[in-house]
Amino acid sequence: MTEQHIKLPEGSIEKATTTLNLGPTHPATHGVFQNILELDGERIVSAEQTVGYIHRAFEKIAERRPLYQITPLTDRLNYCSSPINNMGWHLVCEKLLRIKTPKRVDYMRVIIMELARISDHLICTSVVGVDSGAFTGFLYVMQYRELIYEIYEEICGSRLTTNMGRIGGFERNFNSIVFEKLEKFLREYPAVLREFENLFTRNRIFMDRTIGTGGISADRALNYGFTGPNLRATGVDYDVRVHSPYSSYEDFDFEIPVGKTGDNYDRFLVRNQEMWQSLKIIEQAYKKVQAFKGADAEIYHADVPEYFLPKKSDVYTKMEALIWHFKIVMGETEIPPGEVYHSVEGGNGELGFYLITDGGRAPYRLHFRRPCFIYYQAYSELTKGGMLSDAVITMSSLNLIAGEMDA
C-alpha cells in the first residue's frame, strides 16, 4: 500500500509550542495550584507552577495567638492527616518547655498518628486511581476512612480538623468505644487494603500509565529537598521516625519501604507498603497501651499543670484547676524565651516547626517547614519530556495538598 506524503513548501510551518493552562480550578479536587505547560503536540517541553491561591498567612496569624490557640491552625496544614500536625506542634512546645510525656501518652499518640498516616495515604492512592479513571477503589476505601473519622470523633469530637490533644498529652482518656472501634478497624481493614491492592498493583492499564512516568533520581531528589514517601520511592530510606525518634517510636518494630526509580508506580507502591507498616505499628501500640493496668491506665497527660488546660469539670469544682485555667488562658504562665526546631514525619515528609519565643504569650516567629511546598518545585523536572496525561498522574501521585503548600 503506498503512502501519500503531503509535501509542504519549506519553512511554511514553524515549530511552535502550545501553552496549556492546567489552571487553579482543576478537577482532581486536590486543591488549588496552577501549572502552565508548554506542549509540543502531546509532549511537555516545560512547566511553570503558580502557587499561593490559598495563602492564608498562617505564620502571621501565629504571631498573634498563644501556644494552644495555634493547634487549630496546624490542623489546616495537611488537612488529610491533621492529628499528625497537631501532635507535631505539641511536641515542639514540649521540647521548648522541656516537658517529658509518660510512656502511655506516647503510645496513644503513636496510635493516632499512624491512623492519620493511613488516612492520608488512602486519599492519595485512591485519588491516583480516580485520576487515571478508576473510581471504584476510592469508594471501597472511603468506608474505612469513615471508621477512622469515627475514632477521632470519640477522642476529640471532630472528624477532619481535629485540634486533638494538649501540650503534655490528650484532653481525655481513650474510652472503651475507642478501643472497640480500633479493634474493628484492625480486624477488617487488612482485607480491604488487600482488595484495593488487587485492583491496582498488577492492573495492566494502571501499570502502563504509571511505570516510567514522573521519575527522579535519588541525588536530584535530595537536592530538591524531597522527604517522605516521594524520597523513599527513589531509594533513600530517610524517615524522621527512625532517624530522630520522637514520641517513643524507638520502641516499635517496623520497616521502611523504599522504591527504586522514583516514578509514579514506585510512589504508589511505597505508600501502600507504608500503610501495611502503619497497621503493624498500630497493633503493637494497641497491645502496649492495653498492657497498662489499674492506676497507670488512667494516665493520659503529663503532670504539668502550668501548661496543660485542665478538665472543665475540675475547673468548675476545684480551686487549683480554676487558678491554672485562668493563668493559662490569660497568659500568665511562663514561656521561656528560646529557639527550637523540631520535625515529625507527616504524611508527605518532614514537617518541621521552627519556633522562636521571646517570653511573651505568643511566639515571636513561627515557621512551618512544609514538605509539599518544597518538593513541588521539582514538578517541572519530573514532567519534562512526558505526555500530558502523565502530568496529571504525577501531580496526584506527589500528594500535593494545597493547604500545606501555601500555609
Site for other proteins in 78-97 (CB under 8 A): 79-80, 95-96
| Listed residue (81, 198, 230, 78) closest to 134, CA to CA | 198
Distance CA 47, CA 353 (A): 30
| Binder of other proteins out of 181, 220, 280, 311 (CB under 8 A) | 220
Q: How far is the CB of 56 from other proteins (least distance, A)?
A: 5
Q: Considering only 3-11, 105-113, 270-278, 352-360, which stretch makes contact with other proteins by CB under 8 A?
A: 352-360
Residues 144-183 that bind other proteins (CB under 8 A): 145-146, 149, 159-161
Residue closer to other proteins by CB (options 223, 317) is 223
State yes or no: residue 139 binds other proteins (CB under 8 A). yes
Q: Considering only 257-265, 296-304, 369-377, 390-398, which stretch makes contact with other proteins by CB under 8 A?
A: 369-377
Residues 241-300 that bind other proteins (CB under 8 A): 243-244
State yes or no: residue 103 binds other proteins (CB under 8 A). no
State yes or no: residue 384 binds other proteins (CB under 8 A). no
Which residues touch 187 (CB under 8 Å, ≥6 apart)? none
Residues 12-71 that bind other proteins (CB under 8 A): 23-27, 29, 31-32, 51-57, 59-61, 63-64
Number of residues that bind other proteins (CB under 8 A): 72
Phi/psi for 350 (5° steps) reads -80, 105
Helix 264-290 vs helix 388-397: crossing angle, to nearest 10? 10
Q: Considering only 171-179, 219-227, 293-301, 388-396, which stretch makes contact with other proteins by CB under 8 A?
A: 219-227
**C-alpha neighbours within 13 Å on the C-beta side of residue 275:** 26
| Binder of other proteins out of 71, 343, 396, 399 (CB under 8 A) | 343
| Binder of other proteins out of 42, 188, 320, 334 (CB under 8 A) | 188
Q: How far is the CB of 293 from other proteins (least distance, A)?
A: 34
Q: How far is the CB of 146 from other proteins (least distance, A)?
A: 5
The DSSP output letter for 309 is P
CA-CA distances (angstroms) from residue 115 to 69, 128, 265, 287, 325? 24, 20, 23, 15, 31
Q: Which residue has the cell 502523565?
A: 390
Distance CA 115, CA 281 (A): 10
Residue closer to other proteins by CB (options 238, 276) is 238
Which residues touch 79 (CB under 8 Å, ≥6 apart)? 160, 161, 401, 403
**C-alpha neighbours within 13 Å on the C-beta side of residue 252:** 31
Burial 346-361 (b: 16+ CB within 10 A, else e): bbbbbbbbbbebeeee
| Binder of other proteins out of 38, 46, 199, 238 (CB under 8 A) | 238
